[in-house]
A and B are shown apart, each in its own frame.
Chain A
């Protein structure tokens, strides 16, 4: 395996540990009692669909790069980025929904946790978008093609991971909120 890809996987492991510790803290705290009960914002279902679609588009883009269909690649990359931004905006509106349900960041930890989990994930997603932009720029310079795939492969790995991470958080919240 290319050493940089290997390093990326280790980076992913460390991010995973942050979320594993956060969700464990969530469970431990919940076990203590004095917990706030609330419904999840409906926006989550929309953003989940968006992020999964974006992963699909990126994978499609990767296949395009493999077959040297550079024009298709550029369009797909651009769409992935747009969907990433849509996801972020959607997450923002999920916070707005939470506030309208009287679930605040400052207050009962039950509510605070959901902001921390989504916020931390959004923060990582921004880094993913930056990575996508870097790949898009090199694609525009025609530097991403079947002989030079390492970068887009790494980017796809990271982006799929961020999507999967969101799905994990969603499932977690559905069961434990």
Chain B
């Protein structure tokens, strides 16, 4: 045991001093930095850039859906040839835009932007480590992400446009260049970009898991970890297991596209001509894709849930309700997420018996999800709530998780799904439960940890305005979509005005479009607040939210290495808020029980002896030098 501690401490030491003493130049400090905090900010800024691009795309295609006759001539300076002679949006470019919107939001914003930012920033700070297990691989992870971003961006400027087959890139549409313009160069770049993205994501995840398992400070047992860390940990585990499968799917697609194999292709006629591809199966792609695809939706969701647990407990001034149940439900969700993928494939002609099995497994996921919701509500119940902007966004997340999760239960039933599949009902479901909820998790995280990131506070008033406009707006956008979807309105259609049945929805579509553009516009309040506060915001106190976790024990602007002296030890779980008998309404994790005799429970008093013993074998990091 002693030896083990010495080993880890020695490791810390060696790693830390190898770069701690060097003078950092601008390039090593801000560009090719190996400091997890800087890398986190790089992910955040890149993610924000992509969020703006993805949002702008959605505004344009919402205009098309709300006002199909509108002249978009004013977009010609940007979109050029994609605006037709009559001033309309090119139908193929419409498909390109929804494809890019989905890809950007799911992978670049809510995977890289969210996990990349908060896993990087919070893991070392909250577990008490100097940095990630490998700063170098961490840096590579960002630059691979950057490279994949560049490739994806380039695809916008191809003459034939970016990929257009939907974010799920189903073959044969995506496999045959002659099928549509977007399946030419754009699709190739999409695949290249995603292959690089997968490498980036794997490097990141491997680092997160290794760091959490190996570099926790003394006393930080798994049952004392903040729920944020549990969520990031399981997100990374899901990533390591599922992204390689997307790689396989993409690789076979690359072979089909560029080398003429037939993994996904068979019996295809284009323009009356038979293709030579024989023996493949398009359904095979769907299996491979959704084996990643469903875990991916939880890769997007879990970090937000972790962030929310932390923020809700802190601002309710109460211990999180059911800490172990929260961990258990995260574990259950992670395991189950790998065995439900075929609920995206109920209409592929699968054996109804198999369909029923996937239906039952899918519905079981609702149980751990409901446990989480119940625990959030129980934590909020009769709490002394402080409505900080971060808290509001966290509560917003819970609201979206409920309303979007409920429709998931409908969709999980194959008999209902066969009617609702590929309608706007699906769009409503996943935008609430995944899109809006994770976005709110990300925003909550930014508001909450901004003081730690930049040493300044964001403006709370602007935060409130931002919250209410966005929260109400999101419901105004996505609630009506349920009705349109139940009526059978298909998703991914450029125009519906040729169908008489759907003409009665014109007003509703206009309404949704206005709400969408309003929400998009209110995000600029956030962007202003973010960049303004970075330079001009009120200087932050050391622990602005009176929180228990370790990151608030660092200096206000931590240097590379995080703690100037030794790393604090941990003696308790992170949720000792409003403990009866305690002086303050919070007791940070690094306060030993021997200093809080007035509030200890009997079994905690028993731990005091242990604390003393352990103190004897603490190895001072600098001692080895």
A, B in one complex: yes
Query: A: which residues have CB within 8 A of B?
Result: 1-4, 6-7, 10-11, 13-15, 17-18, 21-22, 25, 28-29, 32, 34-36, 105-110, 112-113, 116, 120
Partner of B206, one of A2, A7, A32, A120: A7
A6-B248 CB under 8 A given contacts A13-B241, A28-B284, A106-B260: no
Partner of A28, one of B215, B244, B248, B287: B287
Asked if B251 and A116 make an inter-chain contact with CB atoms under 8 angstroms apart, the answer reads: yes
Asked if B262 and A107 make an inter-chain contact with CB atoms under 8 angstroms apart, the answer reads: yes
Contacts of B288 in A (CB 8 A): 21, 25
Contacts of A25 in B (CB 8 A): 248, 252, 263, 284, 287-288
At the interface with chain A, which of B273-281, B325-333, B361-369, B375-383?
B273-281
Within 8 A of A (CB), among B199-222: 202, 205-207, 209-211, 213-215
Smallest CB-CB separation from B211: which chain A residue?
A3
Within 8 A of A (CB), among B296-350: none
Contacts of B213 in A (CB 8 A): 6
**23 interchain pairs, CB-CB under 8 A:** A1-B214, A3-B210, A6-B209, A6-B213, A6-B214, A7-B133, A7-B210, A14-B206, A17-B245, A18-B247, A21-B245, A21-B249, A25-B287, A28-B287, A29-B280, A32-B284, A34-B279, A35-B279, A36-B279, A109-B261, A109-B279, A112-B255, A112-B262
A109-B280 CB under 8 A given contacts A3-B133, A116-B251: yes
Contacts of A110 in B (CB 8 A): 279
Asked if A7 and B262 make an inter-chain contact with CB atoms under 8 angstroms apart, the answer reads: no
Closest 9 CB pairs of A and B: A17-B244, A3-B133, A21-B245, A21-B248, A18-B244, A10-B206, A3-B214, A7-B210, A106-B260
Asked if A29 and B262 make an inter-chain contact with CB atoms under 8 angstroms apart, the answer reads: no
Contacts of A4 in B (CB 8 A): 133-134
Asked if A116 and B255 make an inter-chain contact with CB atoms under 8 angstroms apart, the answer reads: yes
Distance in Å: Cβ of B349 to nearest Cβ of chain A: 12
Asked if B291 and A21 make an inter-chain contact with CB atoms under 8 angstroms apart, the answer reads: yes
Asked if B240 and A3 make an inter-chain contact with CB atoms under 8 angstroms apart, the answer reads: no
Contacts of A32 in B (CB 8 A): 281, 284
Q: Taking each of B11, B261, B284, which has the highest tally of chain A beta carbons within 10 Å of its own beta carbon? A: B261
Q: In this assembly, does B43 line the interface, its C-beta being within 8 Å of a C-beta of chain A?
A: no
Tell me the bound Cα distance from A120 to B240 in angstroms: 18
Within 8 A of A (CB), among B173-224: 202, 205-207, 209-211, 213-215
Tally of contact residues, B, Cβ under 8 A: 40
Please give 5 more A-B residue pairs, beta carbons under 8 A apart, in addition to A107-B261, A108-B278. Answer: A2-B11, A7-B133, A22-B248, A29-B281, A106-B262
Contacts of B259 in A (CB 8 A): 105-106
Tell me the bound Cα distance from A103 to B452 in angstroms: 61
Distance in Å: Cβ of A47 to nearest Cβ of chain B: 22
Asked if B245 and A18 make an inter-chain contact with CB atoms under 8 angstroms apart, the answer reads: yes
Distance in Å: Cβ of B368 to nearest Cβ of chain A: 23
Distance in Å: Cβ of B216 to nearest Cβ of chain A: 12
Tell me the bound Cα distance from A109 to B137 in angstroms: 37
Q: In this assembly, does B425 line the interface, its C-beta being within 8 Å of a C-beta of chain A?
A: no
Asked if A10 and B209 make an inter-chain contact with CB atoms under 8 angstroms apart, the answer reads: yes
Distance in Å: Cβ of B377 to nearest Cβ of chain A: 36
Distance in Å: Cβ of A74 to nearest Cβ of chain B: 27
Smallest CB-CB separation from B133: which chain A residue?
A3
Asked if B243 and A14 make an inter-chain contact with CB atoms under 8 angstroms apart, the answer reads: yes
Smallest CB-CB separation from B213: which chain A residue?
A6
Smallest CB-CB separation from A108: which chain B residue?
B279
A14-B244 CB under 8 A given contacts A1-B214, A116-B251, A116-B252: yes
Contacts of A17 in B (CB 8 A): 240-242, 244-245
Distance in Å: Cβ of B55 to nearest Cβ of chain A: 32
Distance in Å: Cβ of A98 to nearest Cβ of chain B: 14
Tell me the bound Cα distance from A108 to B247 in angstroms: 22
Q: Taking each of B11, B245, B279, which has the highest tally of chain A beta carbons within 10 Å of its own beta carbon? A: B279
Tell me the bound Cα distance from A169 to B241 in angstroms: 19
Tell me the bound Cα distance from A68 to B230 in angstroms: 43
Tell me the bound Cα distance from A2 to B14 in angstroms: 13
Tell me the bound Cα distance from A36 to B259 in angstroms: 19
Tell me the bound Cα distance from A118 to B599 in angstroms: 64
